[in-house]
Structure 1
Amino acid sequence: MFKLGTVPGSQMPGTLVQIEKIKPLKKNSIFWVGYRYIYILLLALYSYLNILFTEGDRIFGFDLNGLYLFSILLVIVILVWEGNRRIAQSIFRHGKRYFLEKFHPLVVHFFLSLVVVGLAAIIPVVAVIFILSLDFDNINLHTKLSLGFAFRINLFLNSINAIVFFMSQLKETQVEAEKFKKQSVEAQFEALRNQINPHFLFNSFNVLSNLVYKDPDTSSEFIQQLSKVYRYLLKYQEQKVVSVKEELEFLKSYIYLLSIRFEENLFIKNNLQPHIYELYIAPASLQLLIENAIKHNVVSIKKPLIIELFNEDKNYLVVKNNLQPKTIEGSSTSVGLKNISGRYRFISEKQVTVHKTEDTFFVKVPLIHIETK
């Protein structure tokens, strides 16, 4: 048990990576999908069966062997697919410089793909005419039909590509938003942690200035304990949690400083059960709660302040004190309690709770359970 009457106690530099409004087409394009030639073959087969089902092959005005028709469609799909892939590659490499500042890449891609559609429609028609030794009388009709097939395939591919593009953009935006959220949480936590700059430092220096000439031995011990306090604060400044055991070790030095200052007017009782010593709490939370109790209550010979530490099973650590508020206290900002409550919002699902009766005031902080191998 600690008993003072008998003791000889910024901001985080997290830079958000700016999300580009429009990203070039490449990695988020279907034209780079793995095994794309399988998809090309399946799309050609689907188009071929669709034409047979609708009897679209009769529009040519002559009997066209099924193998030739399928070959034409396969060539069209290959040319449209690979042409679009080249366009996406070009936009990825040079689009940011020339297009993306004014136009959306999908719009640029689609209009450029119309050139590919024209070439993809003409090449198979000319090839078939030469292979089958046909005349060029109906080349316009054949080209229009081929152009219709090519445009339909191109429209389908660009529609799927647009869906893939926007889904990819959405996923990247969600990842960046989650990254920003994490950085924001870390920054808020860092700001709260940096508030741990106890004002008792100034009181400690006042006590030390009086001790130096009156009692050099005690002043030397006082300096050593004060250094331990700040060594602890510096050591655990970057950590979110510390074990109860480590916090209690730190508290011994802090209590020693208080004992010199308040002598027999302040008592701190440690009634914590040993089985919770390996659990975790936020660094310096006990120090802040004790400091808060001293700040807001009278500490005198007539009205000694009694602070008790105990636990509720393995769920909460409680800091309780008899309530004897100062008559002239001024406006309280409750920085200490807000600080602890804010930090626990980041490290625990449970909340810090404050309870007040006519005679007592106590704060319950959650005990953190961390599994260790």
Structure 2
Amino acid sequence: MFGIKYRYIFILLLAAYSFLNILFTEGDKLFGFVLNPFLFFGILLCIVFLIWEGNRVLSTFAMKWQFRKFHPLFVLFGLSLINVLFIAFLVTLGFEIFKGASINEILTFKLALGFAFRVNLFLHSINAIVFFVNQYKNAQLETERLKKQNAEARFEALRNQINPHFLFNSFNVLSSLVHKDADTSSRFIEQLSNVYRYLLYNQENKVVRLWEELTFIESYIFLLKMRFKENLNIVNTIDEKHKSKYIAPATMQLLIENAIKHNIVSRAEPLTIKLHSNNDYLIVENNVQLKPVKEPSTQLGLKNIRERYDYLCGKDALIVQSNGNFIVKVPLIEIE
């Protein structure tokens, strides 16, 4: 607090307040004798100035040394008392030089010390409030920073862990194609490389345009369709005007993978996944036909996506289950 930019204005205001307060309560005999009002104000201003500037110098020392056994505020206040004694001594010495034997040195010293101590205590009370408010704000900022880092790290791990079964199944499909259809095999390899190229290139990006994600999803859907054929239907009706907005990379892939992981995909019960949008959200919707035997799940996928979007844009991903459909609405992010 003592090193603030406009401290001289505050010093002047505090001196003026002290001057008016003393005149109202004690008259002009603060030091035991009458003084010219202008001289009186000048002395008060000098005392306040010396206390403030002394504390400014001492605070640099107290914070620099960071005494381990004592809080820096206690150290600063203790050092300031020495400064207060010195200022009271200077005031008394000054009066003794200019007024000679007409003053009571002990009484003048006590009165000067009392005034200087009150001003010093007031300033340190304000300084303590400012210090702890700043500490609280810094703690809040640090907490938010750590929470954000944690959410980013968890989402990064989630995004990078393409389901091992997906890769295993892709190679199985490829091995069955190699001897049957060379052209389709070649295209399959191309689409598989597109998927991993996208994930590799965007692993450091927090957001990508929706049209980039959709280009990646087309390759991903091609691989899924080669495996599930007509048992999986993915319908994309995302509005063209929303494709310039942003989402977190691999969001759609994670949601599609989540739907396939938890639901039956068969000729008797085909799974339909719909991709559409409105002004605020990208919507991924599927019919619910849960597998009788659930695959092992950490239950963190959707939670991490929600936390990620909360930090990216302050909006939560919405999860709704109604009329036999499971719906996830992911905020579309606009960047100026």
Q: TM-score when scaled to structure 1?
A: 0.73
Structure 1 stretch 32-41 or stretch 283-292: which is displaced more? Answer: 283-292
SS of the equivalent of 1:185 reads helix
2: distance between equivalents of 1:349 and 1:57?
65
- Partner residue, 1:209: 175
CA RMSD of superposed structures (Å):
3.3
2:78 aligned to 111, 115, 133, which one? 111
Kindly name which structure, 1 or 2, has the bigger radius of gyration based on alpha carbons.
1
- Partner residue, 1:299: 266
2: distance between equivalents of 1:273 and 1:143?
83
Does 2:313 correspond to 1:346? Answer: no
2:50 aligned to 76, 79, 84, which one? 79
SS of the equivalent of 1:332 reads coil
Question: How far did residue 338 of structure 1 move?
Answer: 5.1
Question: How far did residue 351 of structure 1 move?
Answer: 0.8
- What aligned pairs does 1:165-244 form with structure 2 within 5 A after superposition? 165-197=131-163, 199-239=165-205, 242=208
How many residues are aligned here?
Answer: 328
- Partner residue, 2:312: none
Higher relative contact order (CA 8 A, sep 6+): 1
2: distance between equivalents of 1:60 and 1:294?
87
Question: How far did residue 120 of structure 1 move?
Answer: 0.9
Question: How far did residue 213 of structure 1 move?
Answer: 3.4
Percent identity, aligned pairs only, is 49
Structure 1 stretch 267-276 or stretch 165-174: which is displaced more? Answer: 267-276
- Partner residue, 1:33: 4
Residue segments in structure 2 that go unaligned for 5+ positions in a row: 310-314
- Show CA shifts across 1:100-159 (max 9, x none): 2011111111121111111111212222222123357x2222222222222222222222
| Residues 1:39 and 1:59: Cα distance change in structure 2 (over 3 Å) | closer
- Show CA shifts across 1:136-184 (max 9, x none): 7x22222222222222222222222222222222222222222223223
- Partner residue, 2:233: 268
- Show CA shifts across 1:193-251 (max 9, x none): 23333522111212222333344343323222222232233334444555554444434
| Residues 1:330 and 1:158: Cα distance change in structure 2 (over 3 Å) | same
- What aligned pairs does 1:56-75 form with structure 2 within 5 A after superposition? 57-58=28-29, 62-75=33-46
- Partner residue, 1:9: none
- Partner residue, 2:14: 43
1: distance between equivalents of 2:34 and 2:254?
92
Question: How far did residue 318 of structure 1 move?
Answer: 4.3
Question: How far did residue 59 of structure 1 move?
Answer: 7.0
SS of the equivalent of 2:179 reads helix
2: distance between equivalents of 1:245 and 1:37?
57
Q: TM-score when scaled to structure 2?
A: 0.80
SS of the equivalent of 1:268 reads strand
1:134 aligned to 101, 115, 129, which one? 101
